Amino acid sequence: MKMTGAQIICDCLVKEGVDTIFGILGGAILPLYDTLPQFPQLHHVLVRHEQCAAHAAEGYARASGRVGVCFATSGPGATNLVTGIANAHLDSSPVVAITGQVARRFIGKDAFQEIDITGITLPITKHNYLVRDTNQLARVVKEAFYIARTGRPGPVLIDVPKDVFQEQVEYHAPGKVELRSYRPSIKVNIPQIQKAAKFISAAQKPVILAGRGVILSGASEELKTLAETAQIPVVTTLLGISSFPESHVLSYRWLGMHGMAYANMAINNSDLIIAIGMRFDDRATAEVNGFAPHAKIIHIDIDPAEIGKNVAVDVPIVGDVKAVLTPLLKLITPAEHVDWLKQLDTWRREHPSTEIRESSSILPQYVVKSIYEATGGDATIVTGVGQNQMWAAQYYTYNKPNTFISSGGLGTMGFGLPASVGVKIGRPDAQVWVVDGDGSFQMTLHELATIQQERLAIKIAIMNNGFLGMVRQWQELFHGKRYVATPLWGPDFVKLAEAYGIPAVLVRRKEQVIPAIQQAIAHEGPYVIDFGIEPEENVYPMVPPGASLAQVLEAPKKEEAVWPR
């Protein structure tokens, strides 16, 4: 059968189970868009900026467990994808980006809207392709999906010249992918697992440190069984939030720069860290030389490059989390760590970390807690980046797997709104809330148009403090309160939402908070709430730059200096 390159791509996408594509068209990719009506199985979501196409594709991937797909044209269309691709790369999200390129005869001649997008994205993709031979398209698409979803997931980019979309060739659906240079390990090392079991049996103060790899592997039940059988407390990373139910008696929430003080204390005093599906990034470890000074470390991760990269480990285990925990559980015997758990509970009482003080003004902590109570903890929370992200992580209790979706490694402001588009499409029956700051929200607020166009019932809580809040907090604590370029003028978000046809409400009094949230939930479509929060509220706990987890700062009393002490 003869098909154009564009038809081949669309047919391959259908065969890969793709049902949704996020993107914006342009000249070089127009032949692919012209072909989409021939494939009604593919629903295209028109975003308002290519960066948002990549974020939406990642949100879809993270919510659905499938590969997210985005399209962009050549030149600025392709370069606008870069931030979203980088975000997916650092957070291990399976995304396939297909970009248009100038026709083959113009490549290398600085043609209109020509850019070397494969060169640009080489460091931030798991792999990428420039397809010059139309006969190779079907193979490339199948390989791209295979690479994106296997091993440690990540983004793959396929750059396609305009005339390759248009050229007709004989189409044969490719068979099984065989790549000599890419063979993700599927076998687990049983002797290493046996060694880990012995370390666990001998430990007196063990802590499980769970990351996003638990969620990617679908191993939350195995994690729970391990913790309950061996009575081991569980701490998570920021992106590991929701891998273990936070209401569980063995949950000590999350650690790191703005994690729970008692979680940091647990790590600092442990004699064994069982790190599962995490990469010991600096936001989790703080000053690495002071990380877990008394502990031996077991590290389970699918990516061998992550083991030993930042922290020396005693028992390295390469493999998918679920594939490793399954045989490990057979070797774990029931245990009790009564004294250790009592000590952790004492620290949790003495250093509560998430108490909300009394205030007549609107505190962001109170807003997030109110959203939690109004939703019964049964929502998927998507965040921007900044103080809003930390408050959403601290004051919503996550008991269901994969219900906290945020930008971790890249820390991308503006992630929340476009990612929620993909999350809601990938998880249509879920109640989806965006918790954003006024600064982060303004970076991608145009996606309100996409939300309205797609009729997505996304609820949006804007924490409006009139600042770029996290940077302002650093300026207050470490730069003599010199607020340079952080005071932030913003539009009337209510009028703005209404201009997009979305109902909205302004909340400026504490007693309005809960009714506004209930009103948003009751409304069948999208809804925006502009919460005017305390302008100079800070995020605590906080580990200062250059400090160790043991040097965590807690919310100060009025008479206390914050830093340095």
Q: Is 33 helix (H, G, I), strand (E, B) or coil?
A: helix
Q: How far apart are CA 531 and CA 370, in angstroms?
A: 12
Q: How far apart are CA 229 and CA 365, in angstroms?
A: 34
Buried/exposed 417-428: b ≥16 CB within 10 Å, e otherwise = bbbbbbbbbbbe
Three-state SS across 367-433?
HHHHHHHHHCCCEEEEECCCHHHHHHHHHCCCCCCCCEECCCCCCCCCCHHHHHHHHHHHCCCCEEE
Q: Is the distance from CB of 284 to CB of 270 less than 8 angstroms?
A: no
Tokens of 181: 């240079």
pLDDT in tens, 16-31: 999 999 999 999 999 9
Confidence at residue 557, expressed as pLDDT on a 0 to 100 scale: 76
Q: How far apart are CA 287 and CA 508, in angstroms?
A: 40
Q: Is 481 helix (H, G, I), strand (E, B) or coil?
A: coil
Mean pLDDT of 175-189: 91
Mean pLDDT of 338-345: 98
The torsion angles phi and psi of 548, rounded to 5 degrees, stand at: -95, 170
Kindly report whether the global pTM for this prediction surpasses the value 0.75. yes
Residues assigned a catalytic role:
50, 112-113, 162, 470
Alpha helices per DSSP H over 286-350: 321-331, 338-350
pLDDT band with cut points at 50, 70 and 90 for residue 201: very high
pLDDT in tens, 214-225: 999 999 999 999
Q: How far apart are CA 400 and CA 429, in angstroms?
A: 15
pLDDT in tens, 233-252: 999 999 999 999 999 999 99
Confidence at residue 186, expressed as pLDDT on a 0 to 100 scale: 80
CA atoms within 13 A on the CB side of 116: 6
Confidence at residue 166, expressed as pLDDT on a 0 to 100 scale: 98
Of 47, 174, 154, 145, residue with least CA distance to 93: 154
Confidence at residue 73, expressed as pLDDT on a 0 to 100 scale: 98
Confidence at residue 561, expressed as pLDDT on a 0 to 100 scale: 55
Q: How far apart are CA 543 and CA 565, in angstroms?
A: 13
pLDDT in tens, 24-70: 999 999 999 999 999 999 999 999 999 999 999 999 999 999 999 99
DSSP β-bridge partners for residue 99: 72, 159
Q: Which residues contact 150 (CB under 8 A, 6 or more apart)?
A: 184
Confidence at residue 565, expressed as pLDDT on a 0 to 100 scale: 38
Buried/exposed 76-101: b ≥16 CB within 10 Å, e otherwise = ebbbbbbbbbbbbbbbbbbbbbbbbb
Q: How far apart are CA 277 and CA 304, in angstroms?
A: 11
DSSP 44: E
pLDDT in tens, 258-284: 999 999 999 999 999 999 999 999 999
- Please tell me if the domain spanning 190-350 has the same topology as the one spanning 364-539: yes
Based on C-alpha coordinates, what's the Rg of the chain? 24
The torsion angles phi and psi of 275, rounded to 5 degrees, stand at: -90, 120
Confidence at residue 415, expressed as pLDDT on a 0 to 100 scale: 98
Confidence at residue 560, expressed as pLDDT on a 0 to 100 scale: 59
Q: Is the distance from CB of 481 to CB of 563 less than 8 angstroms?
A: no
> What share of the chain has pLDDT > 90, as a percent?
97
Q: Which residues contact 111 (CB under 8 A, 6 or more apart)?
A: 102, 103
Rounded to the nearest integer, the mean pLDDT of the chain is 97
Distances 532 to 364, 463, 507, 509 between C-alpha atoms, Å: 9, 7, 6, 8
Of 257, 236, 170, residue with least CA distance to 549: 257
Q: How far apart are CA 220 and CA 235, in angstroms?
A: 13
**Residue at 458: amino acid letter:** I
The torsion angles phi and psi of 504, rounded to 5 degrees, stand at: -150, 160
Q: Is 534 helix (H, G, I), strand (E, B) or coil?
A: coil
Chosen CATH of 190-350 out of 3.40.50.620, 3.40.309.10, 3.90.950.10, 3.40.50.1220? 3.40.50.1220
Tokens of 393: 């992580």
The torsion angles phi and psi of 39, rounded to 5 degrees, stand at: -130, 80
Mean pLDDT of 414-443: 98
Confidence at residue 562, expressed as pLDDT on a 0 to 100 scale: 55
Q: Is the distance from CB of 307 to CB of 316 less than 8 angstroms?
A: yes
Mean pLDDT of 96-116: 98
> What share of the chain has pLDDT > 70, as a percent?
99
pLDDT in tens, 124-174: 999 999 999 999 999 999 999 999 999 999 999 999 999 999 999 999 999
Q: What residue ranges do the domains of the chain occupy?
A: 2-170, 190-350, 364-539
pLDDT band with cut points at 50, 70 and 90 for residue 185: confident
pLDDT of residue 563 exceeding 60? no
Q: How would you classify the pairing of strands 155-161 and 296-301?
A: unpaired
**Residue 76, preceding bond cis, omega within 30 degrees?**
no
Q: How far apart are CA 286 and CA 444, in angstroms?
A: 30
pLDDT in tens, 514-528: 999 999 999 999 999
Confidence at residue 375, expressed as pLDDT on a 0 to 100 scale: 98
* Strands laid side by side in the 127-130 sheet: 43-46, 20-23, 68-72, 95-101, 155-161, 127-130
pLDDT of residue 361 exceeding 80? yes
The torsion angles phi and psi of 117, rounded to 5 degrees, stand at: -70, -25
For domain 2-170, the question of CATH label 1.10.1040.10 is answered with no
The dotted CATH code for 364-539 is: 3.40.50.970
Q: How far apart are CA 437 and CA 460, in angstroms?
A: 10
Q: How big is the chain, counted in residues?
A: 565
Tokens of 45: 């979501």
